[in-house]
Each structure stands twice: as C-alpha cells, then as structure tokens.
Structure 1
Amino acid sequence: MPYPLPPAKDAFDATLARLDTLLGEITDQQLLAPSRCHGWAVCDVLAHLHLGLQEAITAFAYRVDTPADTDFAQYWRGGPADPPTADRDAEIAQIRFARLLASAYGRPSGLLRHLRPTVDALRRFVAAADDGQLAFQQRVLPVGDFVVTWAVEVAIHHLDVLVELPELPEPAPDGLALVAATLDRLRGTSDRPGGWDETTYALKGAGRLPLSDAERAELGATAERFPILG
C-alpha cells in the first residue's frame, strides 16, 4: 500500500522546517565541526544534502503513469552488490566531491545562501503535490513514499551534523518517526532492544553507532542486517 500522502506531507514539512531552523542558527565555526560521516565536516554533509534536495525537486517534473516498483522502505535496498573495490572508489569520490564543493565558498556559511532557498522550494513543491507516481533514480515511487524517503534522508543527516553540536536544534520527531517506520518495515518487526529511543534507533539503523555485544545478542540473526539504511 502506498504511504498516505497527507501525513507524509506533514512529517516532511516538519522535518525540513526544523532543518531550516538549524540552518538559521549555525555559525561558520560550527559548520567546520566534524560530522558523523567519515571524511566530512558539517558543511560537507550540508553540501551533499543540498545536491540531494535539488535532485528531489527535479523529480516532480517526472510524473509517470506506470505502476510503482518500489516503496518508501524498499527504496533503501540497493540492487546487486558492486565489487568491494568499486564501492570504496565510489565512496572516496563522493567524499571528495562534497568536500571540494563545500570548500568552494569563501566562508562555510556561503553555502546556506543556496541551501535555504532550496529547502523552501522543496517544501512548496511537496505542499502542492497530489497523489500519483514519479520516476526517480530509475525507479518509480508513489508520491507519498517519495516524500517519506526524503524526510528520512534529511532526519538522518540532521543527526549527522549534531555529533559535536548538541546545542543546535534536534531533528523533528515526525522525521525520526518516519526513520523508525522505515527501519521497522525493512526489519519486518517493530521490536527493538530495550532502551532504544527513536534517535538511537535511527543512529544504529543507519550505521552511525555500532551495535554492542548485548544488542547483537538481543537482535539475534537480524543483527547481521545492520546497518539497514545505506
């Protein structure tokens, strides 16, 4: 069943509104802080996210009549595994590209002059969206499911930039709830080790925090599926 569009819209807007609040407060010094993403400072994560949000905007120009072939959870499952060396090469290239892009600005905060209007534009596109399907990255998703995938992406990267900046606004609970819903769907269960709130679940599920031995024991065979989100 497609993810219903109205609640997807509401959660998405809350998620991007909270991100925009962070962008309105963050300083040049904070933008240079380390992130949770290997090889990236906070400004690099935001440069990467900016490119993704721009790509999401273009997806609304590719509405299609063909049936959906994926949903908000299955979207995170990749195709056949590439050779390990190809994965490493692609990862290094991606890290380098975002770092070079972010460093092209005279000050780290220069990126925000482009990122914040993109955030605002995408919120407007989503608010005006209606049901149907769209094509994105060679897949077809219902619009509600597409919106959910981007709320999840934003919520996780929002957590990424806070690792040394806990004083900045946290992700919207609505976005973290969608991360949890995605992880539950992919795992086939809503059970999780005791003590995991939705932030911890997101960080563990996205591979930002390792599983402890006790958590692996409690999760059993499903522990081998972590990290779940690519």
Structure 2
Amino acid sequence: MPSPTELLTATYRSLSEQVTALLPEEAWQPTGCAGWAVLDLTLHLVDDARRGLVALATPADGPATSDAVAYWRAWQPTGAQDEDVAWRTRVRASVAGGLAELSAVYAELVAAVTVLAERTAPDDLVGTQGHVLRADDLLSTLAVEAAVHHLDLVAHLDRPGPAPEALAEVRRVLEGLLDGPLPAGWDDATAARRGTGRAPLDDADRAALGSSAERFPLFG
C-alpha cells in the first residue's frame, strides 16, 4: 500500500501527463462533469493543485477538525450551486490563455505540491477551506479529487484513466462515507462514478445497496 505522498505523486503524475497531452481542438470537448468542457475542467484542476500548495504551507493549530473521509461529507452541492460554479468557471476559463498555458501552470503546481508534501511530516496539521487536517489526510483529499477529475477529463476522450492506487483510494473514502462496502461487482472506476453521481444507479445497484441507495451520491 503506497504512502499518502506516494499516492499523491502517482495520481498527479498520471493526470498531469494527460493534461499536458491535450490538444487545442479538445478544449471544448465535454467531460464527465455535466456542463463542463475540457478547458473548464483544466482550470478547475489548476485551482485544486493551488489549494494543495496553499494548504501545505498553512500550518494550523490543533486539534484536527476533519479527516480524509469526513472532509467530503460537506460536498453535497445543490443543482443551483453546480450551475453557478459551472458558469463562473466558464467565464474564467474563457480568458485563461488556453489549454497550453493552463497545462503548463498545472504541471508546475503539481510538481511543487509533491515536493512540499515530501517535506511535510504526516502528522503536521494544516488548514484548508475552513478545516484542520493532518497532512496525510490532506494528501488523500487531493488524490481523491484528482482521480475523480481524471475520470471526468477522459470520459469522452480516448485516453488512459487514473492510476489504480488513486481509484482504490476513492473507493476507500466512499466506503468510509457509506459506513460499509460498495457492491462487489463494481470495479473502482465504476465505484468512483456512481459514488459521486457521475453515473446513475440502476435497479440492480439499488437492490444491492438496499436503503443505502438513498444516500447517493456520497459526495459530488
């Protein structure tokens, strides 16, 4: 089992390779995020990596107020909130300089985050988005978000998906939120898509999940 730093490094490396390989004509291709084009999502990835860099450089007083699983409980946006974020992201992305510029910024940021992660002790407390987390828990949140968005990025492109260890971490977090196992018939990519509402539950899924199906998506 990889350490949180190894997990984040593998996750970011895999995603950054795909972001760097994007072609200009793919900027407005759809993604797995409803209403988001590739360019929009790439800008969001830059924001995610910047969050990681800032958080690792933001020591916080204890005790920790959240962890790698509980962090996601608050991420249940309404449809109106999703639409507002999509609109604001599109406005920003349209003047961000294009895919080539954004992918270069993303590569720089993820490289900096992984270096800082290696220099941070696992139990150091850091602040992010109103939470206080152990550094290792922060790294998990970054890896989970990157893995889910990697699936989004390649949803309509013929490109490789996330690193297996990244998808395994997404499943671990989803099962922590569910307080139990996801259906054994779901591979990790399916678990990530259905657990976050990217793919709907079918009748067989609902039968396997029972009353727990009403809790989906587990985060969005």
TM-score (norm 1): 0.89
Tell me if the contact between 2:36 and 2:86 (Cα under 8 Å) persists in the aligned partners.
yes
Q: Does 1:14 align with 2:10?
A: yes
In the alignment of these two chains, the number of paired residues is: 219
Structure 2 equivalent of residue 206 of structure 1: 196
Give the secondary-structure state (helix, strand or coil) at the position aligned to 1:141: strand
Distance 2:68 2:144 in 1: 9
Tell me if the contact between 1:32 and 1:108 (Cα under 8 Å) persists in the aligned partners.
no
Distance 2:110 2:186 in 1: 30
Deviates more, 1:95-104 or 1:220-229: 95-104
Distance 2:8 2:43 in 1: 20
Structure 2 unaligned blocks of 5 or more: none
Structure 2 equivalent of residue 144 of structure 1: 136
Considering only aligned residues, what root-mean-square deviation do their CA atoms show, in Å?
1.9
Structure 1 residue 24: Cα displacement: 2.5
Letter in 2 for 1:216: R
Tell me if the contact between 1:31 and 1:109 (Cα under 8 Å) persists in the aligned partners.
no
Letter in 2 for 1:178: E
Q: Which among 204, 212, 217 is matched to residue 222 of structure 1?
A: 212
- Return closer, same or farther for 1:228/1:39 CA change in 2, 3 Å cut-off: same
Tell me if the contact between 2:150 and 2:161 (Cα under 8 Å) persists in the aligned partners.
yes
Distance 2:140 2:98 in 1: 32
Structure 1 residue 109: Cα displacement: 2.6
Tell me if the contact between 1:35 and 1:160 (Cα under 8 Å) persists in the aligned partners.
yes
Letter in 1 for 2:100: S
Structure 1 equivalent of residue 168 of structure 2: 177
Give the secondary-structure state (helix, strand or coil) at the position aligned to 1:19: helix
Q: Does 1:114 align with 2:114?
A: no
Structure 2 equivalent of residue 24 of structure 1: 20
Structure 1 residue 106: Cα displacement: 4.6
Structure 1 residue 22: Cα displacement: 0.8
Tell me if the contact between 2:206 and 2:213 (Cα under 8 Å) persists in the aligned partners.
yes
Letter in 1 for 2:194: K
**Structure 1 residue ranges, 4+ long, deviating more than 6 angstroms after superposition:** none
Distance 1:52 1:24 in 2: 16
Structure 1 residues 34-81: Cα deviation after superposition (integer angstroms, max 9, x where no partner):
0111211011011112112112211122212311111100001118x8
Structure 2 equivalent of residue 155 of structure 1: 147
Distance 2:162 2:74 in 1: 26
Distance 2:164 2:191 in 1: 13
Structure 1 unaligned blocks of 5 or more: none
Structure 1 residue 170: Cα displacement: 1.2
Letter in 2 for 1:204: R
Distance 1:9 1:75 in 2: 18
- Return closer, same or farther for 1:174/1:213 CA change in 2, 3 Å cut-off: same
Structure 1 residue 89: Cα displacement: 4.1
Structure 1 residue 122: Cα displacement: 1.1
Distance 2:169 2:21 in 1: 25
Structure 2 equivalent of residue 188 of structure 1: 179
Distance 1:212 1:178 in 2: 24
Structure 1 residues 3-24: Cα deviation after superposition (integer angstroms, max 9, x where no partner):
x9x7111111100010111123
Tell me if the contact between 1:28 and 1:109 (Cα under 8 Å) persists in the aligned partners.
yes
